[in-house]
Chains A and B, each alone.
Chain A
């Protein structure tokens, strides 16, 4: 049933408008490229983008799979009545000013929830930025643009973080299969989205930004039964910030510990920052996981020791290599030939389940030859992570080459750690 929301054949936009700098116009513009049958509902404007409007959704003769609600909050309740009468398949409520705005808003949210629940119509929001499925060119949101297509599904309790992600997405190497702004999650919640996205063939990894959940048990079960790796960034970890997220009282400090323990038990991988969330998601999208120990090849001793420290601290192990030290330091004058010989010697060993290649930009470093060689190592079917230190032109174009070939690259050993850790895990339960 929720398929009507995520894969509709017909969409009605209630509150559609051509007015510049409006949420209603952004949604119309984003949806126009989808090729889906669109119906604009506006009681005051007769024509929008050369299309005649309807003054009420109930006037539309065709079936409506999805109704998108972008009207001011005082009009939402009436619009929901109309959606129920029209028997729409699902609703996305973009309008804000509900539970996030105090008691009156809470009451209003409860009212619309009851109406839709009674009619058994699933809904997203309210206070949602919307939903995007880039591989299907489906964008029912007021996002400032369209993100790259890729294998990451991002489910977020913050619309702002979604915008931050889409802003400049064209310059990043990774892309998205799904972006869901859950809003106040009065209807569908994060667990429902996980269950749906788990069936999506375009999605390889699910990234979550969570502030708080009402039904932790349902989330636990959804994460546990997911076949895809799930990465979680949780905000509201300290008693003070929990207050900011909700007005809960009681044993607050304990709550994050239970959340964190439960999600870990369900098989999720927890990270500590927005940067880590997508550094890790990118790695899991680009490469396949392989449980076990890590082998390192480096042309810089310092970088090798730095990453070895971090690997041990994170609880991972460096593989014991036959006849070679790990990290394998091939020294600063290493040619591509030497790199190739070393990388193959390491990746071929049975004890190595993942290869980490570090490059520091030295006088004789063969940047473009090296990355071509690393790309060819993918034939060994083991995950590869690279750390290319330095910020020069040649380093940057080497990173671009690697990431276009789906080999994740990081500028600092520290940033590579969570991705290495995630790739060395067995996400299958």
Chain B
């Protein structure tokens, strides 16, 4: 079962993890207030304990530009069944990565880190570790994937701080080790000059 938005936020808070600035709206008024507070453009997506793959059912809109857009998107999203509301989130620009954790049948709690977007689909560019891990092990994981070159300033990309990602990895490894959770999926985690931002969270119990 997927944890609810509020349950997930509570666990993230306990481990000093923050999602990219966001809120849950159940009415269109609230959606507009949140969007204006966060600042355009925003991301709007369904919050649901039923739907594992939101993109496939058109449950995610990435570039919502203004109030009218918010209202239209809200009504489209709320047509989808079995949802708890609509998440309004700051649109973050930067390099995409994925962080996951699960209970392996043989090794118990394990954590995964990989390049996001097409890199993970095309090249399966991921690293695994047994949880929990410390910061050095997290930095080692980052060194292991090919996508680390992007973090080091490849072709004019600004050099990103690996520490942001390492801190998230350490905390996710503690979640899967300590909490009664079967699977954690952060996809994407976006890194830019300001930090590492968890943009989408799924936790399964």
Contact = CB atoms under 8 A, between A and B. Distances in A.
A217 B129 contact: no
Interface string B124-137: 00111110000001
Given A258-B128, A261-B127, A261-B128, A216 B137 contact: no
Contacts of B127: 261
Contact of A216 (B104, B126, B129): B104
B90 to A, nearest CB: 33
Contact of A261 (B105, B106, B108, B129): B129
Interface string A300-323: 000000000000000000000000
Q: Which range holds the interface residue count of chain B?
A: 10 to 19
B137 A213 contact: no
Q: Which range holds the interface residue count of chain A?
A: 10 to 19
A255 B130 contact: no
Contacts of A214: 106
B128 A217 contact: no
Interface in B73-105: 104-105
Nearest to B104: A258
A261 B128 CA distance: 6
Q: Considering the complex of A and B, which 9 residue pairs feature the smallest CB-CB distances, nearest first?
A: A216-B106, A261-B128, A216-B107, A217-B108, A262-B130, A258-B128, A262-B107, A265-B129, A217-B107
Given A217-B130, A257-B128, A258-B128, A265 B106 contact: no
A220 interface: yes
Instruction: Count chain B CB atoms within 10 A of each CB in A220, A261, A266 and give the residue with the most.
Output: A261
Given A213-B106, A265-B129, 15 more contacts: A214-B106, A216-B104, A216-B107, A217-B106, A217-B107, A220-B107, A220-B130, A258-B106, A258-B107, A261-B129, A262-B128, A262-B129, A265-B130, A265-B137, A266-B130
Contacts of A220: 107, 130
A201 interface: no
Nearest to B110: A258
Looking at chain A's contact residues, the main secondary structure is helix
A258 B127 CA distance: 9
B106 A215 contact: yes
Looking at chain B's contact residues, the main secondary structure is strand
A214 B108 CA distance: 11
Interface string A353-366: 00000000000000
Contact of A255 (B106, B108, B126): B106
B50 to A, nearest CB: 23
Interface of B: 104-108, 110, 126-130, 137
A322 B134 CA distance: 38
Nearest to A257: B128
Contacts of B107: 216-217, 220, 258-259, 262
A213 B107 CA distance: 10
Contacts of B128: 257-258, 261-262
A19 B108 CA distance: 48
A255 B105 CA distance: 9
Interface in A198-230: 213-217, 220
Contacts of B130: 217, 220, 261-262, 265-266
A262 B107 CA distance: 8
A250 B107 CA distance: 15
A165 B73 CA distance: 69
A261 B104 CA distance: 13
B168 to A, nearest CB: 18
A32 to B, nearest CB: 41
B108 to A, nearest CB: 4
B128 to A, nearest CB: 4
Contacts of A266: 130
30 contacts: A213-B106, A216-B104, A216-B106, A216-B108, A217-B106, A217-B107, A217-B108, A217-B130, A220-B107, A220-B130, A250-B105, A255-B106, A257-B126, A257-B128, A258-B104, A258-B106, A258-B107, A258-B110, A258-B128, A261-B127, A261-B129, A261-B130, A262-B107, A262-B110, A262-B128, A262-B129, A262-B130, A265-B129, A265-B130, A265-B137
B115 to A, nearest CB: 15
A250 B129 CA distance: 19
Nearest to A250: B105
Nearest to B126: A257
B105 to A, nearest CB: 8
A266 B104 CA distance: 16
A217 B105 CA distance: 9
Contacts of A265: 129-130, 137
A265 B130 CA distance: 8
A350 B110 CA distance: 40
A213 B126 CA distance: 23
Contacts of B110: 258, 262
Nearest to B107: A216
Contacts of B126: 257
A255 B128 CA distance: 10
Contacts of B104: 216, 258
Nearest to B109: A217
Contacts of A217: 106-108, 130
Nearest to B133: A265
